[in-house]
Amino acid sequence: MLRTRVKEEVIIPAYEGRAIVVPKGHYLCIIDMEGQQVGDFVCFNQGNPGEHVSPVHMRSSLSSIRLKEGDGLYSNYRRPLMTLVKDTVGKHDFFFPACDYYRYKVDFDLEEHPNCHDNLEKALKPYRLGYTELPDPINWFMNNVLDDNGDYVIEPPLSKPGDYVMLEALDDVVVAVSACSQDLAPVNGWKVTPLKLQVLEGI
């Protein structure tokens, strides 16, 4: 059994994002504190910010649109930057975009709704990563339900309070997570609640 201790802990308030460094060999837990809360996640190689976790390449390298324990989080260089080592939920998304200005403007005619894209950009700003377009996210706990035609609906997450995923860093990485700010659809159970990040080291 993996024995660890917490080195750093960060609460992500509802409607906000936070970034954190996870050193190589350390673990990151993303904890759904109250349940049914999606976390939009991006991850950069700290030593080469041009390399980042890339869901489109993950779908190729994993030959799947579902994540399982043991799966690598592959980068645009087709090598894993992290590994999903533990998952208490078993249902996540990595084909859907972060909500953004255009989502709320086009679909809800709202100008200033909090959104994951801007939450992630704000959280990453101090790291000066120099990208131009934010990479696509992994949406932890997001529950897309596909039918046989390839059409889908987004239902509330299956996660209960305290559920989590645990990732191992295979390189020094900068990770950002947003408490998905969509409160006008079922994706977070029609409300937005906090998440918790923990960086752990093995003991």
Structure token digits, residue 107: 């679909």
- Count the residues of the shown chain that bind a copy of itself, applying the rule CB under 8 A: 31
Scored b (16 or more CB within 10 A) or e, 132-159 reads eebbbbbbbbbbbeeeeeeeeebebbbb
Query: Minimum distance between the CB of residue 92 and a copy of itself, rounded to whole angstroms?
Result: 11
Q: How far is CA 125 from CA 46, 129, 170, in A?
A: 14, 8, 23
Residue of 55, 114, 156, 157 interacting with a copy of itself (CB under 8 A): 55
Give whichever of 7 and 60 is closer to a copy of itself, judged by the CB atom.
Answer: 60
Give the bridge partners for 173, in sequence order: 22, 45
CA 16 centroid distance within chain: 13
Residue of 48, 56, 125, 162 interacting with a copy of itself (CB under 8 A): 56
Compute the distance between CA of residue 87 and CA of residue 108 in angstroms, rounded to an integer. Answer: 33
Candidate segments 28-36, 49-57, 165-173, 191-199, binder of a copy of itself by CB under 8 A: 49-57
Residue of 10, 59, 122, 158 interacting with a copy of itself (CB under 8 A): 59
Query: Minimum distance between the CB of residue 26 and a copy of itself, rounded to whole angstroms?
Result: 25
Give whichever of 63 and 203 is closer to a copy of itself, judged by the CB atom.
Answer: 63
Is the sign of the CA dihedral 94, 96, 97, 100 positive or negative?
negative
Q: Is 142 helix (H, G, I), strand (E, B) or coil?
A: coil
Q: Is 152 among the residues that bind a copy of itself (CB under 8 A)? A: yes
Q: Is 177 helix (H, G, I), strand (E, B) or coil?
A: strand
- The amino acid sitting at 37 is Q
DSSP 52: B
Q: Is 145 among the residues that bind a copy of itself (CB under 8 A)? A: no
Q: Is 151 among the residues that bind a copy of itself (CB under 8 A)? A: yes
Q: Is 102 among the residues that bind a copy of itself (CB under 8 A)? A: yes
Q: Is 128 among the residues that bind a copy of itself (CB under 8 A)? A: no
Report the interface residues with a copy of itself, using CB under 8 A. 54-57, 59-60, 63-66, 76-79, 95-97, 102-103, 106-107, 131-133, 136, 146, 149-153
